[in-house]
Amino acid sequence: MGRLILVLMVPLLMSGCAIVGGVAGAAVEGVVYMFKGEEESFSIAMRSALVAVQKGLQNADLNVDVLEPVEKGHMVDFGNGKLAGHIHLEKQTSRLTTIEVKVRDGGMREDSIERALLDSIRVQAKKVNEADRFDFRGYKDVHEKPEDTSDRVGWYRPGAFLDVQKMSKSEWLRIKMPSGKVAFIKSDLAASASK
């Protein structure tokens, strides 16, 4: 009798495992969806891709708020107080760049906005010529350390919605770069940029 019960329970336990496995798989897919962005590769050089990103954001009434050079490309943060976005440009070859766009409204992913921004970038990529450059007018340096002589690790746009932390007894503000690293900007330049 004991063997019969065991034989009857094994299929029940197995189907429960399949259910748990299916639920766990859906949960993992949900987490991946929340942290993933829309991605597309463009047959243009990195320099042209940066121009296309800047102009594509401007066409959507957004701006590159922070630009950070990283290994194999650049990272960009942008936002308007409601939307918070991140773009990663990765060099695949000298004439192939992959662009990933992530946009959040509060904590929720906005995949339709991600697709719209990629569409805007695609349109601009077709208009960029090799002489075009990213427009740095109005941008200020981001420093590795809170010192004027410290290395520049990126650029920021004064007036942008930046997440800053004031350092005690210092004229410097700490910011989080698109890569997640900590860097510094002068508070007199960023007075209008803090949230």
- Is there a single domain that holds both residue 168 and residue 146? yes
Same domain, 60 and 85: yes
**Residue 2 is assigned to a structural domain of this protein:** no
Collapsing DSSP to helix, strand or coil, 189 comes out as helix
Q: Is 135 domain-assigned?
A: no
62, 54 in Cβ contact below 8 A? Answer: no
- Domain boundary pick from 127, 156, 175: 127
The answer to whether residues 115 and 144 belong to one domain is no
Amino acid, single-letter form, for residue 147: E
> Do 47 and 104 reside in the same domain of the chain?
yes
Domain that includes residue 160, residue range: 140-190
What is the mean predicted confidence (pLDDT) over 179-184?
A: 96
Q: Cβ contacts of residue 189 below 8 Å, gap of 6+?
A: 140, 158
Which domain-ending residue is among 127, 148, 166? 127
Q: Is residue 16 part of a domain?
A: no
Confidence of residue 71 (pLDDT cuts 50, 70, 90): very high
Residue 30 lies in a domain: no
DSSP conformational letter for 169: T
Instruction: Give CA–CA dist 74/71, Å, rounded.
Output: 8
Same domain, 184 and 115: no
Distance CA 193, CA 163 (A): 8
168 pLDDT above the threshold of 60: yes
Q: Which residues of 150-170 are buried (b: 16+ CB within 10 A; e: fewer)?
A: eeebbbbbeebbbebeeeeee
pTM metric for this prediction = 0.79
CATH number of the domain within which 68 lies: 3.30.160.110
Q: Both 63 and 91 in a single domain?
A: yes
- Gyration radius from the chain CA atoms: 23
122 and 150: one domain?
A: no
Residue with the bigger pLDDT between 170 and 58: it is: 58
Structure tokens at 109: 């992913």
Q: Which residues pair with 41 in a beta bridge?
A: 98
Q: Which residues contact 24 (CB under 8 A, 6 or more apart)?
A: none
| pLDDT score for 70 | 98
Rounded to whole angstroms, the Cα distance separating 91 from 80 reads: 27
pLDDT, tens only, 94-106: 999 999 999 999 8
* pLDDT for 65 beyond 50: yes
List the alpha helices (DSSP H) in 60-161. Answer: 111-127
If asked whether residues 110 and 144 sit together in one domain, one would say: no
**Do 156 and 121 fall into the same domain?**
no
* Structure-model confidence comparison of residues 107 and 41, the more confident one: 41
Domain count, the chain: 2
Q: DSSP secondary structure string, 12-44?
A: HHHHHHHHHHHHHHHHHHHHHHHH--EEEEESS
Q: 41 and 118, same structural domain?
A: yes
Let me know if residue 160 belongs to a domain: yes
46 and 116 fall within a common domain: yes
Can you tell me the mean pLDDT for 72-89?
96
